[in-house]
Chain A
Amino acid sequence: MSKSLLITRPNYEITTRYLYVWNKEVIKEAKNRGIGVMDLRREKANKKEFTGRMIKVNPALVLLNGHGGNECVRGHNDEIIVRAGDNEEILKGKIIYALSCQSALLLGPKSMEAGSIAFIGYSRNFVFFTDDSKISRSENDKVAKLFLDPSNRLSISLVKGNAIFEAVRKSKKHFSENIRKLLNSDVSPQDYSSSLVPYLAWDMKYQVCHGNQNACF
């Protein structure tokens, strides 16, 4: 297993654009640590490229971003790149973090049966808010930051070599901090609102981890 990471970053509509932009920070952290990064971005986030790189490079850490379902993760233009009952064996021996709705529900356990070390993801839809005025400059979107920074904490913690349970703890702690921030009545109503708390709480609650939580990258 090579100490390299593979990340998928499709970018073909608003949701995937945000994940694409937000994961730049994760890639930067990995490169700063001298970790080999296979960045399958935009149209390269397709099944053929994904399969080929997974076999050829055999990364130890896989970060999947994109739409999905309880049995799959999708790439560019909604193409399914990994699906339970089809090719989950490709995840064998790896740590996977999937920011892809509901994939932890079925694909997660199936990947464990196929021999993955761990699968971290969401067992329900991942929900996040965006500021319409920041669509063209997503990296400056303070509203999306409330939701996507906790996800980044998890990825970055894994990249740093922390144990999975520690990475998950840091992510949930970040969600908690943002919830407390929103519940604080002193903050500016412009950027923050306690009305977003249910959605943060939802994402935090349904982030789940299958497998060996003591493992690390």
Chain B
Amino acid sequence: MKENKEKKKSGKEEKMDSDVKELVKMRLSTIPKGLSVSIGSWGNFKVEDLIRHVEMEDEIGKSIVEIDMEFLRDLKNGKLYEQIAFDNQT
């Protein structure tokens, strides 16, 4: 039973949560048309390319999901506002 739970858990971790994926894709679609993004050594991408990479769950897609989800977490736990408020005062 324990082994099955562990297998199930690791299966979840390997595949992106579908809700997270849809959320990130939706948020990407709010980026203004006519913009592209340079991501590390991977190169330049239009927003529609990013949405496709998120859908494919490849390294680029995972990277975008990580950036967006980390932002949302930092927003929720107040870390982002702490940082920008601190930088405003110094």
A window 192-217: CB within 8 A of B: 193, 195-199, 201-202, 204-205
Residues in chain B near residue A198, CB distance under 8 A: 67-68, 70-72
Q: Which of A109-132 contact B (CB under 8 A)?
A: 125-132
Q: Are A102 and B40 in contact (CB under 8 A)?
A: yes
B4 is an interface residue with CB less than 8 A from chain A: no
Among B35-51, those with CB < 8 Å from A are 35-44, 46
What separation, in Å, do the CA atoms of A205 and B70 have in the docked complex? 10
Indicate whether A129 sits within 8 Å of B68 (C-beta atoms), given known contacts A173-B87, A193-B30: no
The answer, yes or no, to whether A97 is at the interface (CB within 8 Å) is no
B residues near A (Cβ < 8 Å) are 27-28, 30-32, 34-44, 46, 63, 67-68, 70-72, 74, 80, 83-84, 87-88, 90
Which A residues lie within 8 Å of B72 (CB)?
198
Q: Chain B CB within 10 Å — which of A78, A102, A179 has the most?
A: A179
- Shortest C-beta distance, A185 to chain B (Å), equals 14
Asked whether A130 and B67 contact (CB < 8 A) given A18-B38, A179-B84, A180-B84, the answer is no
Residue of A nearest to B37 (CB): A129
Tell me how far the C-beta of B64 lies from the nearest C-beta in chain A, rounded to whole angstroms: 9
Bits for A177-192, please: 1 = Cβ < 8 Å to B, else 0.
1011000000001100
Q: Known: A173-B90, A176-B83, A176-B87. Is A195-B40 also a contact (CB below 8 A)?
A: no
Min C-beta distance of A206 to chain B, whole Å: 10
CB of A69 within 8 Å of the partner chain: yes
Q: How far is the CB of B54 from chain A (nearest CB, A)?
A: 13
Let me know if B87 and A199 touch, CB within 8 A.
no
In the complex, whether A14 has a CB less than 8 A from a CB of chain B is: yes
- A189 to chain B: closest residue by CB: B32
10 A-B pairs with C-beta separation under 8 A? A14-B43, A127-B67, A128-B37, A128-B38, A130-B35, A132-B35, A175-B87, A198-B71, A198-B72, A202-B71
Pick from A74, A130, A177, A180: contact of B36, CB below 8 A. A130
State which of A14, A175, A204, A205 has its C-beta within 8 Å of the C-beta of B38. Answer: A14
In the complex, residue of chain B having the shortest beta-carbon distance to the beta carbon of A102: B40
Are A130 and B40 closer than 8 Å at their CB atoms? Answer: no
Q: List the A side residues contacting B35 at CB < 8 Å.
A: 129-132, 143
